[in-house]
């Protein structure tokens, strides 16, 4: 008897780590055996109910999950269109969705017997989440962070240090997230025996994009259940911001086969896509290979990687997770963008109307919501992932608004 | 098919000495100086030349080679110009093998078939593409082999006996043994560990084995040359180029000649290694 192949968009990647042509394992030979080991270890952990039980327990008692699905009445009233729900992942311990992934990976690293954790960080949210789980499990932690980002995210740098992590400023290249990732890869190549590289987004060589997505999918799975409880049906649209794209992938993945649900990813358009100063890899980039995977990249005519620009350090990455590249090409998700200015407006609007200071990253998602929600009928159910809180951003926002603190 | 690399390694075997393999980045610090150094390498004792294709994000390289890429890019280096360096070199030298070394993205962006056609026309003999493991062979390795280019693979201390056959399967020209787990230009390898590793690789392949990563002095080069078929020096030469820049980052007069003088001292170490050992 042969089973017919299920008709699903959720079965990727294939055994080579590909989503269509995207993804893969484009790494130096030194790392290849490690990447293969990780693949095996993750497959074994995934099949072990004890591993999932450990994650569930920590998600509940340490992270504070499930995060609420909150009806944003005043935003809904203000936009006078779609009914807006916020998935409150900013209420997680450490203040963003990043902890979901860090928890899964640190438990995996422990299973693998690794004794040292390294990570890269842009805005510092992933660095803080990594330093947090390292403190919790007593593992030494080294965070690579671009010198430029250290300057604009000082509170998070101090947080990481309080948590016991060593923060190494990266000055090579242009001193931003992509360079921090290069340095982390160099560290991993040098310390292959004991070190676990805890990547913070749905990028990198296979199995990282799939693994990080799986750990973040708790966002979408909870949303589904909560929406059924609240409204008795699925949402009509879901929205999330995208740098590397981990919070978005986590929200989107459980909904990929629910074709009635419209999916929007919001990239950072910086000063405007036409100015060239942006981080919109899908809207303003082309396919290429970087950091272990094929995906859309910001690059010049010679295939050299260009620096992204965004008011938000967390979206400031010249690539995007390969599964997003695939969802973009297949048309299952629609990718749009919001500028620095639009995000700043949404940042202030949300603070004033809902008493929620969003991080600049989800402020981009909200900026798109503010454009589309007024055009939609009142029975349209829209969920936006509030993936981080804005405490870390208040200084730089004050600066942008010309307010002296 | 016998390539320039095959011929060169066969001739050296005949002579009983190891190959001195030099690395410079194409266009570092600028096109003209880079060409002067490139052109002078064979006379300075280089048996095989690795020419780096500049890339903004060289993840497996250390600070020296990353800085060389940035210098070259700042001064207008492109893939086309790197190939132009090779074409001009071939006008005066039809014997010394040239291997292009770098990362996949600039090649992928140009288009694999276009790149291979242009590389062959320019007179390139082989490719080392750091971020293409055997798992991705259909991307570039297989098309390159069909185009008549050698595809040289890196083997590392983490490449165990189980994995070696896969790594060696589509490798030709020579095998590049990365003597340490780390980035280019970092810690120097222990000669004894290297000898064991070379012997291990040779149990799996008849190809010559060249050793690189962390070789900085003539004495270290000589050590490696006693046990391997070739010694690769990169970061040390690139550092010598960096020292020849004025405060505005331009090459000082006579820069190429002095860099080639340093290359000559390294070459002497490699070429005399086995003679000295025999005494």
For residue A314, the model assigns a pLDDT of 81
Q: A–B: how many Cβ contacts below 8 A?
A: 116
CB contact under 8 A, B59 and A291: yes
Q: Which two tokens stand for residue B166?
A: 């896969």
Percent of chain A with pLDDT strictly greater than 90: 89
Most confident of A172-186, B51-65, B175-189: B51-65
Give me the half-sphere count of Cα atoms (radius 13 Å) on the Cβ side of residue A225.
8
DSSP per-residue string spanning A190-250: H-TTTEEE---SS-SSTTHHHHHHHHHTHHHHHHHHHHHHHHSS--SEEEEEESS-HHHHH
Answer for the pair A256, A11: CB distance below 8 angstroms, yes or no: no
Q: Which two tokens stand for residue B156?
A: 């590392």
pLDDT digits (tens, 9 = 90+) for A295-323: 999 999 999 999 889 998 888 889 999 99
pLDDT (mean) for A48-53: 98
Q: Looking at the predicted structure, is the pLDDT value of residue B275 above 80?
A: no
Split at pLDDT 50, 70, 90, the class of B242 is very high
pLDDT digits (tens, 9 = 90+) for A89-145: 999 999 999 999 999 999 999 999 999 999 999 889 999 999 999 999 999 999 999
The whole-angstrom distance between A194's CA and the closest CA on chain B is 12
B27, B56, B167, B182: best mutation site toward chain A, by most A Cβ within 10 Å? B56
Q: Which of A179, A186, A289 sits opposite B108 (nearest CB)?
A: A289
pLDDT digits (tens, 9 = 90+) for A192-249: 889 999 999 999 999 999 999 999 999 999 999 999 999 999 999 999 999 999 999 9
Q: Looking at the predicted structure, is the pLDDT value of residue A5 above 70?
A: no
Tell me whether residue B50 is one of the annotated catalytic residues.
Answer: yes
Q: Which of B135, B157, B183 sits opposite A25 (nearest CB)?
A: B135
Q: Looking at the predicted structure, is the pLDDT value of residue B31 above 50?
A: yes
Rounded to whole angstroms, how far apart are CA atoms B45 and B227? 19
For residue A173, the model assigns a pLDDT of 79
CB contact under 8 A, A27 and B131: yes
For residue A221, the model assigns a pLDDT of 98
Q: Is B258 exposed, middle or buried (0-12, 13-18, 19+ CB in 10 A)?
A: middle
Closest among B44, B36, B40 to B20, alpha carbons compared: B44
Sheet bearing A69-71, strands edge to edge: A69-71, A83-87, A381-385, A237-242, A262-270, A334-339
For residue B276, the model assigns a pLDDT of 61
B61, B68, B111, B131: best mutation site toward chain A, by most A Cβ within 10 Å? B131
Q: Flag whether the ipTM exceeds 0.85.
A: yes
Residues in chain A with CB shorter than 8 Å from the CB of B53 are none
Alpha helices (H) along A82-146: 98-111, 125-137
DSSP per-residue string spanning B105-130: HHHHHH-HHHHHHHHHHHT--EEEET
pLDDT (mean) for B81-102: 98
Split at pLDDT 50, 70, 90, the class of A2 is very low
Least confident of A219-223, A397-401, B141-145: A397-401
Catalytic residue, candidates B30, B47, B61, B125? B61
CB contact under 8 A, B136 and A26: yes
B58, B64, B67, B105: best mutation site toward chain A, by most A Cβ within 10 Å? B105
CB contact under 8 A, B131 and A192: no
CB contact under 8 A, A32 and B135: yes
pLDDT digits (tens, 9 = 90+) for A11-23: 999 999 999 999 9
3-class secondary structure, B132: coil
Rounded to whole angstroms, how far apart are CA atoms A128 and A149? 14
Rounded to whole angstroms, how far apart are CA atoms B102 and B72? 13
Backbone phi, psi, residue A403, to 5°: -100, 130
DSSP code for A305: B
Residue written as token pair 């690399």: B5
CB contact under 8 A, B160 and A33: yes
Tell me whether residue B257 is one of the annotated catalytic residues.
Answer: no
């Amino acid at each position: 008897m042969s089973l017919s192949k299920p008709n699903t968009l959720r079965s990727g990647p294939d055994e080579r780590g590909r989503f269509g042509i995207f993804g893969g394992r484009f790494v130096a030979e030194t790392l290849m055996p490690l990447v293969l080991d990780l693949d095996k270890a993750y497959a074994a952990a995934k099949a072990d109910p004890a591993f999932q039980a450990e994650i569930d327990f920590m998600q509940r008692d340490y992270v504070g999950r499930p995060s609420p699905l909150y009806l944003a009445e005043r935003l809904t009233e203000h936009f006078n269109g779609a009914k807006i729900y916020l998935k409150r992942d900013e209420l997680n311990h450490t203040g963003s969705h990043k902890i979901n992934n860090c928890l899964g990976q640190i438990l995996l690293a422990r299973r693998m017997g690794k004794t040292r954790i390294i990570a890269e960080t842009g805005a510092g949210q992933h660095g803080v989440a990594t330093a947090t789980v390292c403190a919790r499990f007593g593992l030494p932690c080294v965070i690579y962070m671009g010198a430029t980002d250290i300057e604009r995210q000082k509170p998070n740098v101090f947080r990481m240090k309080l948590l016991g992590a060593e923060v190494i400023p990266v000055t090579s290249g242009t001193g931003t997230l992509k360079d921090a990732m290069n340095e982390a890869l160099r560290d991993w190549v040098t310390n292959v025996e004991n070190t676990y590289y805890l990547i913070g987004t749905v990028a990198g060589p296979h199995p990282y994009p799939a693994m990080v997505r799986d750990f973040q999918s708790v966002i979408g799975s909870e949303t589904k259940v909560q929406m059924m409880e609240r409204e008795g049906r699925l949402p009509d649209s879901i929205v999330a911001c995208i740098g590397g794209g981990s919070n978005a992938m986590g929200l989107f993945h459980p909904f990929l086969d629910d074709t009635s649900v419209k999916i929007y990813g919001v990239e950072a358009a910086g000063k405007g896509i036409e100015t060239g100063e942006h981080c919109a890899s899908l809207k303003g980039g082309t396919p290429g290979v970087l950091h272990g995977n094929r995906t859309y990249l910001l690059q010049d005519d010679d295939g050299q990687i260009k620096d992204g620009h965004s008011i938000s350090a967390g979206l400031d990455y010249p690539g995007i997770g390969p599964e997003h590249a695939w969802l973009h090409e297949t048309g299952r998700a629609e990718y749009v963008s919001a500028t620095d200015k639009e995000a700043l407006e949404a940042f202030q609007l949300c603070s004033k109307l809902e008493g929620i200071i969003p991080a600049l990253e989800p402020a981009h998602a909200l900026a798109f919501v503010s454009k589309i929600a007024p055009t939609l009928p009142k029975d349209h159910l829209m969920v936006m992932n509030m993936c981080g809180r804005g405490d870390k951003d208040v200084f730089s926002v004050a600066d942008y608004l010309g307010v002296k603190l | 098919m016998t390539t320039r690399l095959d011929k060169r390694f066969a001739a050296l075997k005949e002579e009983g000495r190891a190959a001195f393999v030099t690395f410079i980045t194409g266009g570092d610090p600028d096109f003209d100086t880079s060409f002067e150094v490139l052109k002078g390498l064979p006379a300075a004792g280089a048996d095989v030349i690795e020419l780096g294709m500049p890339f903004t994000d060289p993840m497996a390289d250390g600070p020296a080679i990353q800085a060389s890429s940035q210098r070259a890019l700042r001064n207008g280096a492109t893939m086309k110009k790197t190939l132009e360096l090779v074409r001009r070199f071939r006008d005066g030298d039809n014997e010394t093998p040239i291997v292009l070394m770098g990362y996949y993205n600039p090649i992928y962006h140009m288009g694999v078939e276009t790149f291979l056609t242009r590389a062959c026309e320019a007179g390139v003999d082989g490719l080392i593409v750091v971020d293409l493991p055997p798992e991705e062979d259909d991307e570039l390795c297989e098309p390159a082999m069909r185009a008549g280019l050698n595809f040289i693979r890196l083997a590392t201390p983490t490449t165990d006996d189980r994995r070696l056959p896969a790594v060696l399967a589509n490798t030709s020209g020579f095998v590049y043994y990365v003597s340490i787990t780390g980035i280019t230009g970092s810690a120097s390898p222990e000669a004894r560990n290297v000898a064991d590793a070379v012997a291990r690789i040779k149990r799996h392949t008849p190809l010559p084995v060249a050793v690189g990563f962390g070789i900085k002095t003539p004495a270290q080069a000589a050590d490696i040359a006693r046990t391997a078929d070739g010694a690769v020096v990169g970061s040390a030469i690139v550092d010598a180029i960096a020292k020849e820049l004025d405060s505005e980052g331009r090459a000082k007069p006579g820069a190429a000649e002095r860099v080639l003088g340093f290359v000559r001292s390294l070459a002497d170490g490699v070429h005399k290694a086995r003679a000295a050992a025999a005494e």
